[in-house]
């Protein structure tokens, strides 16, 4: 972490050490001295307004006003009047002229939260201000000028709104000159406990009480929870526990009483943009599948060698399948050598055998002259069981050394510790 980012965190009370948070802060610091429009994207409750304050405080406009406007909280019929003002008699109830926010905050910064909720006609007015600084009051034909920097924020995908014809495409590209993505709390697990401690200590200082503390199990549950409400939800939980819990040492059981679904698992899943919910768990699954494939190839090679060494009588098609599998593994040619008179053929070296279905395991019978038909064996496709089995193998391989096992699995030691607790492994 650079010294400048650390200074920004201390100045504005930003808690967190995740790389994604540092990247967002770095972008905000770089764009602050400019006059460019900024679009802050992120889920509800991640702290988008705090970024607007940072940008304004580090800009040349810092001595002028910063005003935050929630576009979703202003009725559609009055939002034009609120933003751009109106003339006396322009509509029913307009008993006098009124200046809008863009006129009163001239020289300052306007933060437009939930910009996706802005009506289409208001978007046209805003686009003109961004391009030329000109606007009209409602009911007036006189063109006015303003010098306002616009910082917008959204908690939904604006491009989806553009495709649905609910947001102007030209306004989207005008606003997103510099986009900043504020990461959700579930993608910052290393920051969850730090934020919880900060909220707990702040609450204790405000009301002169003892700060609450989490047990190791409770801390693990806290860090693996999905946090759909992000930082706002975490703060509410910290304050609820501080007020309602009689114990200052919070166990996993007490934490579960405040967050009933805290033990719900969130398995990795492919999202629309191709991302994953948890890359570390997906890496474990991939490694397990690769190991299973390797074990299957070893088994095929073993069966083929057993047949060759013991001169067993195997149906020609099955022998060809094993031969192809062994050829693919060792990159050495293997041919069928069978007597023509016995009803079979000999495959010449230049002939290429047809591709075989290697997904069906071969069960060799115990009879000396005939064998059973090919049987399909049901596989255990439970992700949890495969993950559990892989962790067992890693621990056994490294004789219980969790640090080495975590490195071998490609996950952090903290994640491995959580998985051991979850699966109740020794």
**For residue range 7-17, what is the model confidence (pLDDT) as tens digits?**
999 999 999 99
| pLDDT attached to residue 414 | 79
What pLDDT digit, counting tens, does each position of 19-49 carry? 999 999 999 999 999 999 999 999 999 999 9
Residue whose entry in the numeric block shows the structure tokens 């490294």: 398
Mean pLDDT estimate for the chain: 82
Identify the pLDDT of residue 34: 95
What's the pLDDT tens digit per position in 194-215? 999 999 999 999 989 999 999 9
Residue 149: Cβ within 10 Å count:
23
pLDDT at 420 over 50: yes
The H-or-E segment that residue 214 falls in is: strand 213-214
The band of 227, judged by pLDDT with boundaries at 50, 70 and 90, is very high
Residue ranges and CATH numbers for the domains of the chain are: 3-183 (3.40.50.300), 188-258 (1.10.8.60), 383-423 (1.10.10)
201: three-class secondary structure by DSSP: helix
CA 4 – CA 414 distance, rounded (Å) = 29
**How far apart are alpha carbons 399 and 394 in whole angstroms?**
8
| pLDDT for the residue numbered 306 | 74
Supply 213's token pair.
Answer: 């503390």
CA dist., res. 375 & res. 259, Å (int): 48
DSSP string, 225-263: S--TTHHHHHHHHHHHHHHH-S-SEE-HHHHHHHSTTTT
Residue 14 falls in which region: left (phi positive, over 0), alpha (psi -120 to 50) or beta: beta
């Amino acid at each position: 972490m650079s010294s400048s980012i650390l200074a920004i965190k201390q100045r504005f009370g930003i808690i967190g050490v995740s790389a994604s948070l540092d990247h967002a802060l770095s972008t905000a610091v770089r764009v602050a001295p400019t006059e460019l429009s900024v679009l802050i994207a992120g889920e509800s409750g991640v702290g988008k307004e705090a970024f607007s304050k940072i940008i304004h405080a580090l800009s040349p406009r810092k001595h002028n006003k910063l005003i935050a406007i929630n576009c979703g909280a202003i009725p559609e019929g009055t939002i034009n009047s609120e933003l751009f003002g109106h003339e006396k008699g322009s509509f029913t109830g307009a008993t006098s002229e009124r200046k809008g926010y863009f006129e009163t905050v001239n020289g300052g910064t306007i933060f437009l939260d939930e910009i996706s909720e802005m009506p289409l006609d208001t978007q046209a007015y805003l686009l003109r201000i961004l391009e030329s600084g000109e606007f009209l009051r409602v009911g007036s034909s006189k063109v006015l000028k303003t010098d306002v920097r616009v910082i917008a924020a959204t908690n939904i995908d604006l491009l989806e709104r553009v495709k649905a014809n609910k947001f102007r495409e030209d306004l989207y590209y005008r606003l997103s000159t510099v986009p900043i993505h504020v990461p959700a709390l579930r993608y910052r697990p290393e920051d969850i406990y730090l934020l919880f401690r900060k909220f707990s200590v702040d609450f204790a200082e405000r009301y002169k009480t003892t700060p609450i503390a989490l047990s190791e199990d409770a801390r693990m549950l806290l860090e693996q929870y999905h946090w759909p409400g992000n930082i706002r939800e975490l703060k509410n939980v910290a304050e609820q526990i501080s007020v309602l819990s009689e114990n200052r040492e919070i166990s996993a059981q007490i934490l579960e009483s405040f967050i009933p679904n805290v033990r719900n698992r969130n398995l990795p899943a492919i999202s629309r943009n191709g991302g994953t919910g948890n890359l570390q768990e997906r890496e474990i699954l991939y490694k397990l599948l690769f190991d299973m494939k390797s074990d299957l190839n070893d088994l095929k090679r073993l069966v083929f060698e057993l047949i060759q060494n013991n001169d067993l009588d195997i149906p020609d098609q099955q022998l060809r399948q094993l031969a192809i599998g062994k050829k693919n593994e060792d990159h050495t040619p293997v041919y069928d050598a069978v007597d023509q008179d016995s009803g079979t053929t000999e495959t010449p070296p230049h002939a290429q055998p047809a591709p075989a279905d290697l997904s069906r395991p071969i069960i060799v019978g115990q009879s000396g002259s005939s064998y059973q038909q090919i049987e399909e064996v049901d596989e255990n496709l439970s992700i949890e069981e495969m993950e559990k089995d892989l962790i067992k193998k890693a621990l056994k391989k490294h004789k219980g050394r969790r640090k080495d096992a975590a490195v071998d699995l490609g996950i952090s030691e903290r994640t491995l510790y959580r998985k051991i607790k979850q699966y109740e492994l020794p």
